[in-house]
Amino acid sequence: MSKIHPNYENPLKEIIYSDDKQADSPINLTVWKKSSMSFQGMDGFTVFNQQGKLVFRVDNYSRKNRCLIGGLVLMDGIGRALMTLRPRLLSMQYQWNGYEGGEDKCKNAPNTPIFSMRRKSICRKSNEEAEIFFSATDTVKSILPDLRIEGSFRKRKCSIVTHDGKKVAEISRKKVNNTTVVLNDDVFSLVVEPGFNCDIVMAFVVIMDRICQKPFMPVLCRSSSSS
């Protein structure tokens, strides 16, 4: 796993960039929402690389109890916990925080998230859908985000970009190989640009699935029909 320890003098460089100095081409991933694969009683994601190898997964067994407060754990392909993602209570902008490691590790440092992600402010008129801040606390104090989500996640047509416009990753509808046939939106493509940390980008995707919902729908209380 790439290092994700925050450096408070230059947090963006430490967190979002990968340690893999050899990467010279984009990493293409296929993301499946588990609800589309008939996993009874659960929700989440499985993510495969171009070779068909499972590289990430998220298991959420509280699908039938969406109003219960809890975190989501991003794991690698063999089930090792990489990050824990938790909603911030009473947030008007549907804010989630990301912590290094699994639930047990987070209990030892509950107030030191690696990043905070929230829906954009309604006061800002732009094509931005969400904002990401790298901070040492669980409250967002910075005015300008370190990263932005531009476009529409619900339509599977969006990009993650840095504060100066550099593309980090792109999400798009998944097409059947060598055809123009587009799969349903529970299966989509995630392309991570060279040099960026795939782990934390996938964490952003998981949170986007929670905060980029239909208008006026509580983030933790979605009906099963919206999955």
Kindly state the average pLDDT of the residues 100-112: 69
Structure confidence at residue 35 (pLDDT):
64
Q: Tens digits of per-residue pLDDT, 17-44?
A: 776 655 689 999 999 987 645 545 457 8
In DSSP terms, 115 is beta-bridged to 98
Q: Report the 3 state secondary structure along 10-27.
A: CHHHHHHECCCCCCCCCE
String of DSSP letters for 63-82: TT-TTS---EEEEETTS-EE
Question: Domain boundaries in the chain?
Answer: 11-213
- The pLDDT, as a whole number, for residue 3 is 44
Residue range 11-213, CATH number? 2.40.160.200
Type of residue at 173: R
How do residues 114-134 score in pLDDT, each as one tens digit?
A: 999 998 766 565 788 899 998
- Token pair belonging to 52: 């068909």
Residue 103's H or E segment, with its range, is helix 103-108
User: What is the signed CA dihedral for 118, 124, 125, 126, rounded to 10 degrees?
Assistant: -50
Q: Read off the pLDDT of residues 167-207 as tens digits, 9 standing for 90 and up.
A: 999 999 998 877 788 888 899 999 999 989 999 999 999 99
How much is the pLDDT for 88?
A: 83
